[in-house]
Amino acid sequence: MRSFWDPRQLSHSPSKELHNGAFVPYAEHIGRPKSILAAIGATEAAVDHGEEPLLRVHPRDYLDFLWSAHKDWRAAGREGDAAGYVWPVVGRRPLDLSRIDARLGRYSYDGGTPIAAGTFESAYWSVQSALSGLDAVIGGDPVAFALCRPPGHHAGADYMGGYCYLNSAAVAAEAAIAAGKSRIAILDIDYHHGNGTQDIFYTRGDVLFVSIHADPKYDYPFYWGHADEEGAGDGEGANLNLPLPRGTALAGFARALDTALARIAAFGPDLLICCYGADTFTDDPISFFDLQTIDYPVIGRSIMSLGLPTLAVMEGGYATDALGGNVAAFLEGLQ
C-alpha cells in the first residue's frame, strides 16, 4: 500500500494544552508521526495541490486567520503559542473583531488547540498528504494511507478544535467529488466523535458520515456525536452516530462496525474515506476503550470487505510507544 507524508508536518509543535483545568504537555506531539514512520516503512512525499482544494471546505477568512494567527500573536507582544480565552456562546451575534484574542475565540471551540509558529504549514501539508493518497486511489489503487498530522476530524469549515485545524478527510471528499465521484462515505473510527466532519456534511445527501466513538455524554467533544444526530435537509439520514460506552473492547466495537458497514453498503458510495484513530487502544492516555493491537487487523479486514476503493487518513492516538505498531497493524488489515 502506498503511504503519503511530508516532513513539514513536523513544523507544528505547541508546548502545552489546557486539560482538565491544568496546562499539561501537548499530547499531539511530533513523537506521534515519528513512531508511525518507524513502523510503517517507506512513505512517499505529498504532492502540492495548492489551496484550491482547501477552499472547497474552508472559507478564505478562516485560512487567512490560521495563516497569520501566530504572527499576529507575536505582533501583540505575546510569547509562546497563540491560544484563545474567550469564546462566543452559541447565538451571540457575529462581530468582525480584529484583536487576535477575539479572533482566536471566533475560530475555535476549545482551549486545547493552540497555534504555534509552524501550525499552518503542518496543517497545509497534512491536507496535501490526504489529497496525494486520494490521487493513488482515484488512479486505481484499492487502498492508500495518508499519514495526516495534525489530525483533522474536529475541525469544521471555519473553526479549529481537538488538535485539528484543517479537515483533511473533508477536503479529500470534496476533491473526490470534484474529480467526478458522485457519492462518498466517510467512516470515522477515531475514539472521539468527528464533529467537524459531521458539521461540514450535515446537510449533504451525497456524503454519508458514519462515526463510531466514545459516547459524548461522558467524553469529548460532548456537544456533538449523539445518536439522534441524523442529518438535516438534503442530508437527512446521511449521518449515523454510533456512540459506545467506556471500556468498549473488540466485541462491542465489531458490532458497531457491522452496523456502520451495513449502512455504508446500503448508501452505495463510489469511494470510502476511513478516518483512523489509534486512541481506541487500551493504553491510550486520554481515552477509555479497550482495543488491543491484534484487534486492528480484524477491523481493517472488515472495512475492506466492503470492496470499496479506500483512502485511510490518520487521526488521533496518543500512546506514542505503541502508536506505530497499532497503525501498522491496521494497515496490515487493509492490505
Whose CA is closest to 249, among 217, 281, 297? Answer: 281
Q: Is 213 in the site for Zn ion (CB under 5 A)?
A: no
Write out the catalytic residue numbers: 154
Instruction: Report if residue 193 touches ligand Q9C, rule: CB under 6 A.
Output: no
Please state the closest distance from residue 171 (CB atom) to ligand Q9C, in A.
16
Question: Does 190 engage in binding with Zn ion (CB under 5 A)?
Answer: yes
Q: Does 12 bind ligand Q9C (CB under 6 A)?
A: no
Among 191, 253, 267, 318, binds Zn ion (CB under 5 A): 191
Containing H/E element for 94?
A: none
Segment near Zn ion (CB under 5 A), from 93-101, 169-177, 191-199, 202-210?
A: 191-199
Minimum CB–partner distance for residue 153 and ligand Q9C (Å): 6
Among 12, 192, 193, 204, binds Zn ion (CB under 5 A): 192
112 binds ligand Q9C (CB under 6 A): yes
CA atoms within 13 A on the CB side of 227: 9
User: From Zn ion, ligand Q9C, none, which one binds at residue 156 (CB under 5 to 8 Å depending on kind)?
Assistant: none
The conformation of residue 201, written as its DSSP 8-state character, comes to H
Q: Is 65 helix (H, G, I), strand (E, B) or coil?
A: helix
Residue 323 and residue 335: Cα distance in Å, rounded?
A: 19
Minimum distance from CB of 279 to Zn ion (Å)?
4
Select the residue interacting with ligand Q9C from 277, 300, 324, 325 (CB under 6 A).
Answer: 277
Q: CA 185 to CA 150: how far, in whole Å?
A: 22
* DSSP-H helix ranges across 161-287: 168-178, 195-201, 250-267
The answer to whether the peptide bond before residue 150 is cis (omega within 30 degrees of 0) is yes
Closest approach, Cβ 17 to ligand Q9C, in A, equals 4
What's the rounded Cα separation, in Å, for the pair 146 and 151? 11
Binding mask 149-188 for ligand Q9C (x = CB under 6 A): --x--x-------xxx------------------------
Phi, psi of 306 (to 5 degrees): -65, -25
Binding at 265: pick from ligand Q9C, Zn ion, none (beta carbon under 5-8 Å per type): none
Nearer to ligand Q9C, 81 or 315 (CB): 315
- Please enumerate in sequence order all residues whose Cβ is within 8 A of that of 320, keeping only pairs 6 or more positions apart, or say none: 29, 31, 32, 35
Q: Is 316 in the site for ligand Q9C (CB under 6 A)?
A: yes
Cis peptide before 269 (omega within 30 of 0): no
What residues contact 133, with CB distance under 8 A and at least 6 apart? 2, 3, 4, 144, 145, 146, 172, 311, 312, 313
Q: Which does 225 bind (CB under 5 to 8 A by kind): Zn ion, ligand Q9C, none?
A: none
Q: Which residues are registered as beta bridge partners of 244?
A: 214
Pick the binder of ligand Q9C from 220, 224, 253, 267 (CB under 6 A).
Answer: 220
- CB nearer to Zn ion: give 11 or 280: 280
Closer to ligand Q9C at the Cβ: 112 or 269? 112
> Which range binds Zn ion by CB under 5 A, 90-98, 117-125, 195-203, 312-320?
312-320
User: Strand pairing partners for 275?
Assistant: 188, 313
Contact residues for ligand Q9C, defined by CB under 6 A:
17-19, 112, 151, 154, 162-164, 190, 192, 220, 277, 279, 315-316
Contact residues for Zn ion, defined by CB under 5 A:
190-192, 277, 279, 316
